[in-house]
Structure 1
């Protein structure tokens, strides 16, 4: 028994084949109807898709909090996802911030963001706004706890914990628990210069994240902003920039100031040429989620560019579709704010807490 593809059918722009079974010993091909070209001979560049009119898009729920918008039936009293909590004391607020800061580092470890001892996070103290907490130098992200963090003034003084006999102790921090690591490890000098400049420049920046991630490092070599290729990256629509110069390892205050200049007054992220990524936020959770989004955006951009280049070499044409201004602004409005970005990161916080039994909170 011999099987042949014998009849080609054309429906709109789609081709299909009908399988015909015959018991003849010699092939018998039925004639094609009309002037029809078999589908295997159509070249990509010759195929012309039908032009369809763009549907009229409706941008709903712009008049309500994005937390309520994403939580189904919240208007009828259904529960909503978590939003940033309020605190009655500076001590409680501080401990909560440091626990979430430590959770970000644990998450970074799980995301394979660890690269030697590079990378740092800063969180502005709720009671002392001219000071920020940062991680000790040389501790693996996957080991960090809330008690490991070091408090630095914007002028560079170590405020807590006391690291030498003559160090003064802030009265309101006498009861704050600090680990042996915090007492015996230095902060990252480059990290201090970058974060101090950011916190001095922007009162709205309560946290900043920077580390040397694989896709962020690679994409930074192009010194180009990210295109609005996906819904997720629209969080950075007209809210990210590029530091187009490279001045080596940041060990001078001027370089920190240059990075603050590049970030600007409203941006939430900056691509540091030949270096990596930096994001900021009203909470460390927001800054961390935006960092994940920017790293994923760099990965997607590299993949899209590579796919387009490969298609071009093969004589094929891919049409890159970028998100238009109106939709990009809507996405940023509904998914890029402090509350919704905080809520996004809580999925990771809860996972890390479950995986290590809350070890990072100590």
Structure 2
């Protein structure tokens, strides 16, 4: 749902305006954080019960310019989607189509090649140890893909989706590729993506010191992860604050 007040949209014929607006905020702020990849990478949000119809950014539009009205509706069960106006690029179709088709609990999905998450994905051991509170957030809550198979066309997307078998694991460290984050809402998924990048940065910078790591015991890491999962409304408030900043600046995301 919409995590903050917006003006009535001028595009009355467009459905799911709250989800569109939230996604537009997420795109704009991802670009501001320099977590985007030029005109590549993609976010999606399911809009039907089984998740096979979803909103997505149009092909090769820069995240910093995306508006709610720009988002296209993609049908994971209809290959003709690739021939429509502003159709998603084939890798977006393959990765997100495969995910929404095979993993219905992934209502929202965000895929980026953000620097520190991608550095982590490039290590021979891509596990994220619980060396601080942010890292502990993802203790036993990320899955690692060790079998990168090239660009994420349809078969590769289905293979990646099959790795999300544990509902507790909502981050995929895509070996040699980047990161995929899933969740129930845009606010939850963006918040998770943001903190995963921060956690990966802390870990990478700690490795760069060459000093021994102070790793939390498993029981404390698990306790911390559970406490953060139950922390009230942080994701909703986070997105609402970003929306407020954009509104104060007169941004056009909600148009």
TM-score range, shorter chain: 0.7 to 0.9
Structure 2 residue 52 is the aligned partner of structure 1 residue 130:
yes
1:131-170 equivalences under 5 Å are: 131-157=53-79, 163=84
Structure 1 residues 270 and 128: CA distance shift in structure 2, 3 A:
closer
The alignment covers a number of residue pairs equal to 243
Checking the alignment, whether the CA contact within 8 Å between 2:44 and 2:56 is kept in structure 1 is yes
**With structure 1 as the length reference, what TM-score do the two structures score?**
0.61
Say which of 98, 120, 132 aligns to 1:197.
98
- 1:249-288 Cα deviation digits (max 9, x unpaired): 112x221122112333321101111111110010011111
Structure 2 residue 11 is the aligned partner of structure 1 residue 120:
no
The alpha-carbon deviation at position 319 of structure 1 amounts to 4.2
| Distance of 2:175 and 2:204 partners within structure 1 | 15
Q: Counterpart in 1 of 2:161?
A: 260
The alpha-carbon deviation at position 246 of structure 1 amounts to 1.6
The alpha-carbon deviation at position 150 of structure 1 amounts to 0.8
1:338-353 equivalences under 5 Å are: 339-353=233-247
| Distance of 1:128 and 1:146 partners within structure 2 | 23
**With structure 2 as the length reference, what TM-score do the two structures score?**
0.85
Structure 2 residue 248 is the aligned partner of structure 1 residue 354:
yes
Checking the alignment, whether the CA contact within 8 Å between 2:3 and 2:240 is kept in structure 1 is no
Structure 2 residue 160 is the aligned partner of structure 1 residue 238:
no
Structure 1 residues 211 and 98: CA distance shift in structure 2, 3 A:
same
- 1:304-335 Cα deviation digits (max 9, x unpaired): 1111x2xxxxxxxx442212223222322222
Give secondary structure in 2 for the equivalent of 1:271. Answer: strand
The alpha-carbon deviation at position 130 of structure 1 amounts to 2.6
Q: Counterpart in 1 of 2:191?
A: 289
The alpha-carbon deviation at position 237 of structure 1 amounts to 1.4
Structure 1 residues 203 and 111: CA distance shift in structure 2, 3 A:
same
The higher radius of gyration belongs to: 1
Between stretches 331-340 and 112-121, larger displacement belongs to 331-340
Gaps of 5+ in 1: 1-81, 86-90, 164-183, 310-317
| Distance of 1:305 and 1:128 partners within structure 2 | 42
Checking the alignment, whether the CA contact within 8 Å between 1:205 and 1:281 is kept in structure 2 is yes
Q: RMSD value over aligned CA atoms?
A: 2.6
| Distance of 2:239 and 2:132 partners within structure 1 | 19
Structure 1 residues 210 and 347: CA distance shift in structure 2, 3 A:
same
Give secondary structure in 2 for the equivalent of 1:114. Answer: coil
